């Protein structure tokens, strides 16, 4: 390495250190204003893959901190999934209710789907009210609302009046605007590519 190159690299390192120092100072000021804590309403929606995965990841994170978790699955039915197998290992920390009857194109029975969604909502209300649970995941609730299986106004009212020390995560595409307005966090998954479009079927450990 020549002397000029060494000088140039040293100058880059000096500028980098100065820039990072300025960024840290800005962040320190910003963080001083972030003083609130408490339960959050979080929504993962959009057409891309990863909505339920993100929700279950948050549930695993809560377990890592010794918190207790409630999970209600609205749509996917009784089929065996990796998350079902995993969370069953924590019976003292996780309450898992698999309430769906399966995908709507499989059931082809709206009355049955409505009844399953309403039963799932009752379980959801129990978990939301349960002071022993720190984090509640309502997986695919957005889908149940999309098909009008539940009364949106009642869902919004219950979530508006939720305990303020509890985190609630809702997943599923086509989240209702009323829920997104209420939530503190909304993430939209955008699909860029999907293996199904390439003729690859769902696989263990990746899709279920």
Please state, in angstroms and rounded to a whole number, the distance separating the CA atoms of residues 136 and 139: 9
Q: What is the pLDDT of residue 68?
A: 98
- Nearby residues of 142 by Cβ (< 8 Å), 6 or more positions away: 43, 45, 170, 171, 172, 173, 174, 175, 176, 179
Tens of pLDDT, residues 150-177? 999 999 999 999 999 999 999 999 999 9
Tens of pLDDT, residues 56-98? 999 999 999 999 999 999 987 777 899 999 999 999 999 999 9
Single pTM value for the model = 0.84
Terminal CA-to-CA distance of the chain, rounded, Å? 52
Question: Mean per-residue pLDDT for 122-151?
Answer: 97
Contact criterion met (CB below 8 Å) for 142 and 26: no
Question: Mean per-residue pLDDT for 2-19?
Answer: 77
Q: Is the pLDDT of residue 3 over 80?
A: no
Residue 28 pLDDT grade (very low, low, confident, very high; cuts 50, 70, 90): low
Helix (H) or strand (E) segment spanning residue 16: helix 3-32
CA 113, 117, 123, 124 dihedral sign is positive
- Residue with tokens 């320190």, as numbered in its chain: 28
Q: Is the pLDDT of residue 102 over 70?
A: no
Q: Which residue has the higher pLDDT, 2 or 70?
A: 70
């Amino acid at each position: 390495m020549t002397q000029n190159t060494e000088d140039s690299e040293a100058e880059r390192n000096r500028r980098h250190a100065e820039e990072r120092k300025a960024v840290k100072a800005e962040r320190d000021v910003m963080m001083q204003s972030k003083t609130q804590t408490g339960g959050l309403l979080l929504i993962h929606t959009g057409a891309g893959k990863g909505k339920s995965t993100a929700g279950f990841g948050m549930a695993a994170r809560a377990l890592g901190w010794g918190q207790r978790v409630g999970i209600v699955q609205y749509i996917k039915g009784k089929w065996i999934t990796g998350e079902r197998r995993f969370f069953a290992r924590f019976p003292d920390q996780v309450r898992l209710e698999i309430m769906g009857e399966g995908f709507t194109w499989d059931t082809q029975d709206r009355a049955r789907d409505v009844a399953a969604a309403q039963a799932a909502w009752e379980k959801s209300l129990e978990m939301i009210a349960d002071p022993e649970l720190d984090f509640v995941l309502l997986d695919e609730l957005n889908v149940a609302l999309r098909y009008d299986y539940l009364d949106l106004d009642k869902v919004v009212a219950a979530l508006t009046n939720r305990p303020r020390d509890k985190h609630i995560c809702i997943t599923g595409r086509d989240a209702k605007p009323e829920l997104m307005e209420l939530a503190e966090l909304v993430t939209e998954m955008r699909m860029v590519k999907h293996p199904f479009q390439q003729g690859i079927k769902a696989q263990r450990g990746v899709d279920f």
